[in-house]
Structure 1
Amino acid sequence: MPLRIPAPALSSPTGSYPSGRLRPGALLRAGAGAVPPSGLVILGIFSVQIGAGLAKNLFATLPPSAVVFLRIAAGAAILTLLARPRLRGLGRRDLALGAAFGATLAVMNLSFYEALAQLPMGICVTIEFLGPLGVAVAASRRRSDVLWVLLAAAGIVLLAPWGQAGGLRWAGIGFAALAGLCWAGYIVLSAAVGGRIAGTTGLSIAMLVATALTAPVGITTGGADLLTPELLLLGAGVGLLSSVIPYSLELEALRRMPKRVFGILMSLEPAAAALVGLVVLGEILHLREWAAIGCVVIASAGATRTS
């Protein structure tokens, strides 16, 4: 999940970047120029999901809240070093908006990782994706959007554990839904922050605030294990895979393709999460669950196309 580019309504979590440039984008640009923009988007999607899979593997050693702290702290450190944010000239309203952005980012990641600990990756991302889908539908006034809402609702009904023993956990579904709600708020706030604060300074403020908010629970639950060099390295790897690498790839793709096409491609994220969960984590989904993921993917692509 959830740090990504919120250019179209369906860009993602586990975090989107407001407009601005980072040096990694310049470093990767030469090599990325030989790859079609659609390929860059797909690579970015799988980078995020592999990062989530790596984070889920850490749950055997650390609780989800501690992994969230590691992931956000690593992302904040990398972003601050690369972007070098400038706070001079920012007013109280700017700082308050950045703080709200950071609080949303913190809750989004905490709820997503709690859901990830209880649900297969593909299902977790599918439910979470209802957040940006709602933003896309709200941005459109076409009657056909009712179809996309109904299709997404059908997908969620297929996922719900109605009377199933040993099926999906309602608590996990609730955490994923909360992450989706925060993702919707994240998209709205990222647009507001990007409109008031130049470059990546707004996101840097948000990341630092999110680090401060997740630190108490992350340090309390993680304890001395957070100081293990191997875990620190894995946390940095999650931050790179979930933030810096996809940001660089997707920013280059957005320079070479329409935002609407970018948003449609981003709708493949739930399916990519299910594939990564299958290959990396051995999470096998039933036909009914794949059908539910397909409903949400089609609904997301349709809503993005008409919004």
Structure 2
Amino acid sequence: MQADVSKTAAPGSDGMLLASLAMLGSQVSLNIGAAVGKHLFPVIGVEGVTAFRVGFSALFLLAVFRPWRYALTRRDALNLLVYGTVIGVMNLLIYHAFSRIPIGIAVAIEVTGPLLLALLASRRLRDVAACALAVFGLWLLLPLHTGAGRLDPVGVACAFGAAACWALYIVFGKRASSLRGGQAVAWGMLMASVFIVPLGVISVDPAQLTPALVATGVAIAVLSSAVPYSLEMLALRGLPQGLYGMFSSSAPAVSALAGLLILGEHLSAVQWSAIACIVLASAICAVSARG
């Protein structure tokens, strides 16, 4: 049964502040890791980088949280199975998007998943306006009109697939967030690695795995998965679903800045305007859902 956010007791101010800081730290860590990971795509491919990210994250989280110490109910196990599968597919799709289109644009498309979820949670007139604003932002962003920058259609499709996964991640992450400590994210990452790591093993030449490359892979795993997913689980526990969506709305702007500063991905004025529209739409809708 989906978590009923409207019936969840509002967390205290201290808990809300801690959860908000956790979301901020998650965004910064995630985007730095993604920008670093993009540098490795030409060397070991998208599947290889994703396998590093998910595989090392699973090992790290299992070692830290030791989730086997606590028994799981059948319902918890089912939620974790879906949660872990969504994590794996989301990682793979968004990295394929990153390999073909700028990070900021990919995340602007991806954040429409949480936006849609927030819209479904709060049906008000301003939500309709927010949806229209997001659609306008996507129209500016995608090559649907004269003057729009050319984007790889496969990259765009992967970003939309990641958006659907992000919405499912919020729903099933909320369901699993009642588990002890980092139990949920540790089991979820392990389940994701079950099918992601074999894909990486098949696609990577062992001769390429130098100590420096492996060390970079470990850093990507810590920055892109282990730290942000743990912080997001804390945030999901302390924030209503709508407010979580509001914080998630900053992701495109943070990603675009990371792409600019780390990768030198310069966006046009129209693309920045499109990202701003999507960020504003997500924030408006999430504030409405919180109310």
Fold conserved (TM > 0.5)?
yes
Write 1 or 2 for the structure with the bigger share of helix: 2
Give a deviation string over 1:244-290, Cα, whole Å, max 9, x none.
44467678889999886665343221011111111110111011111
In structure 2, relative to structure 1, the CA distance for the partners of 1:89 and 1:261 (3 Å cut) is: closer
Structure 2 length normalisation: TM-score? 0.84
Say yes or no: does 1:184 pair with 2:167: yes
Q: Could you tell me which amino acid in structure 1 is paired with residue 114 of structure 2?
A: P
One of 217, 237, 240 as aligned partner of 1:235: 217
One of 77, 82, 88 as aligned partner of 2:59: 77
Identity within the alignment, %: 37
Q: Could you tell me which amino acid in structure 2 is paired with residue 188 of structure 1?
A: V
Structure 1 length normalisation: TM-score? 0.80
The residue that corresponds to 2:186 in the other structure is 204
Paired with 1:128 and 1:161, the residues of 2 have a C-alpha distance of 17
Contact 1:87 1:201 in 2 (8 A): no
Say yes or no: does 1:140 pair with 2:105: no
Paired with 2:173 and 2:188, the residues of 1 have a C-alpha distance of 10
Contact 2:41 2:99 in 1 (8 A): yes
Cα RMSD between the aligned structures? 2.9
Paired with 1:257 and 1:111, the residues of 2 have a C-alpha distance of 27
For the residue of structure 1 that corresponds to 2:151, the secondary structure is coil
Paired with 2:78 and 2:20, the residues of 1 have a C-alpha distance of 36
Q: Could you tell me which amino acid in structure 2 is paired with residue 82 of structure 1?
A: V
Contact 1:40 1:249 in 2 (8 A): yes
Select between 174-183 and 132-141 the one with higher mean Cα deviation. Answer: 132-141
Paired with 1:38 and 1:194, the residues of 2 have a C-alpha distance of 16
Paired with 1:299 and 1:93, the residues of 2 have a C-alpha distance of 35
Paired with 1:127 and 1:49, the residues of 2 have a C-alpha distance of 15
For the residue of structure 1 that corresponds to 2:44, the secondary structure is coil
In structure 2, relative to structure 1, the CA distance for the partners of 1:225 and 1:185 (3 Å cut) is: farther
Alignment gaps of 5+ in structure 2: 6-16
The residue that corresponds to 1:121 in the other structure is 103
Alignment gaps of 5+ in structure 1: 1-7, 9-34
Paired with 2:235 and 2:171, the residues of 1 have a C-alpha distance of 22
Contact 2:249 2:282 in 1 (8 A): yes
The residue that corresponds to 2:14 in the other structure is none
Q: CA deviation at 1:92?
A: 3.6
Paired with 1:226 and 1:93, the residues of 2 have a C-alpha distance of 42
One of 275, 282, 287 as aligned partner of 1:293: 275
- The equivalences for 1:102-181 within 5 A come to 102-162=84-144, 167-181=150-164
